[in-house]
Structure 1
Amino acid sequence: MFTGIIEATGELSAIRPHGDDLSVTIVSETLDFSDVKLGDSIASNGVCLTVTALGKRSFDADVSSETLAHTLFGHYQRGQRINLEKAMLPSTRMGGHIVSGHVDGVSQVVKLEQSGRAWQVWLALPKQLARYIATKGSITVDGISLTVNELSQNAFRLTIVPHTAQHTTIAALKVGSKVHLEVDLIARYLERLLNKDNAGASGGVSLALLSQRGFL
């Protein structure tokens, strides 16, 4: 599990195809590798990757065919900048929100506007994810925990403050850039609890009960 608070950025330095999947090497001069070991998870542009080899300033990971089918990793080239976050510890401050590192979909930047020192970034709203995205709700974009500040029928707006722009890859976005999205984990589980057809017995969970207990 992750928080969506980016610890460092890195660079995709090697891509090695292996039939239907591939392995990659990601180099970072700023990520603290002192407590990283083989088998650990590192969110890379929001994708949970398992460390298969370690260098002084790098790690290797396998990217499965499943990951290639649902993320942008199959389109990345050497030199691609990557947001990095190590898996959270029990003592980690929850500065963002609960992030699984399992990408739900891909979106595209449709509009960029400067507002003071901040940037307003509009992303296309994927139809299959629209029901999970709400104004003032949380969303993960390339591994970054962000707040949805405005929602329209076809897009949603994020406000990028200077600190986020300086310490992640988001400052490099342009109109047309594609990004990974992960919706709020709680929204997904609430939907399953409320959907009797998909979840079987609802266990007594209803909109009325959620409202009564302060969830709505």
Structure 2
Amino acid sequence: MFTGIVECTTKVYQLNRDQKNLCIIFMNPFSNEIKINQSICHNGICFTIINFNEKTYSVIASEETFLRTNLNFLKIKDEVNLERGLMMFERLNGHIVQGHVDTTAQIIQIENRNGSWLFFLDLKKELNHTVVEKGSIAINGISLTVVTCNQYIFSVSIIPYTYHKTNLHLLKVGDVVNVEFDILGKYISKSNLK
């Protein structure tokens, strides 16, 4: 369980295919503060650490993860957002993020708003009732608030701190990001279908 408040970023060190799985080795910014079987959110994807040392750590991405995320675009030296699991008895500063990516979206426009940025994203499928204006959404694992939304396109506003602390400052029009809808909205939407 995560909050969508990114702790830091790291870079992809190595990519190794193993049948339909992908072993991803990341640079280790946490030194010895991590352990095997620990979950860390990478650009919104919850991965379990399978191996680590002071310099790097390894995770495995399955076929299902490839189908729902932007991992097909991942390259060595790419920068990814990181968040370790939520600790009990701390404030929930973002929103509940599971690290279970629902889909991807393409950035279609970035507007510089003189001190902040407005990102417009196209899901290429109907947003249905899980995305609402002023509701929560996770983009590359970052807890954000939806500014506007219509049938396929939504926007999020980015403050300078978030822009510079995460990998958002590296993204451009045409890039594909991971999207996780608000879990509470998903449950409500499902209950309304019955």
What TM bracket, shorter-length normalisation?
A: over 0.9
Contact 2:126 2:152 in 1 (8 A): no
| Aligned equivalent of 1:5 | 5
CA distance in 2, matches of 1:104, 1:138: 14
| Residues in 2 aligned to 1:20 and 1:118: alpha-carbon distance in whole angstroms | 40
Instruction: Spell out the pairing of 1:1-216 with structure 2 (5 A cutoff).
Output: 1-28=1-28, 31-196=29-194
Larger helix fraction of residues: 1
**Residue 83 of structure 2: SS of its match in structure 1?**
strand
Structure of higher RCO (CA pairs closer than 8 Å, 6+ residues apart) = 2
Which amino acid is 2:23 matched to?
Answer: S
Structure 1: which 5+ residue stretches go unaligned? 197-216
| 1:72-131 Cα distance to aligned partner (Å, 9 max, x none) | 113311111100000111123211000000000000011111111101111114424432
Please say if residues 109 and 175 of structure 1, whose CA atoms lie closer than 8 Å, have aligned partners that are also in contact. Answer: yes
Which structure 1 residue ranges, 4+ long, deviate > 4 Å from structure 2?
Answer: none
Question: Identity percentage over the alignment?
Answer: 32
Q: How many corresponding residue pairs?
A: 194
- In structure 1, how many angstroms separate the alpha carbons of the residues matched to 2:2 and 2:55? 21
Please say which of residues 102-111 and 52-61 is displaced more in the overlay.
52-61
- Say if 2:107 and 2:172, in contact at 8 Å, map to a contact too: yes
Q: CA RMSD in A?
A: 1.4
Select the structure of larger CA radius of gyration: 1
Amino acid at match of 1:151: C
Query: Unmatched 5+ residue regions in structure 2?
Result: none
Amino acid at match of 1:163: Y
In 2, are the aligned partners of 1:129 and 1:183 still within 8 Å (CA)? Answer: no
The amino acid across from 2:50 in the alignment is T
AA matched with 2:84: K
**TM-score, normalised via structure 2 length:** 0.95
Cα distance, 1:192–1:154 mapped onto 2, change above 3 Å: closer
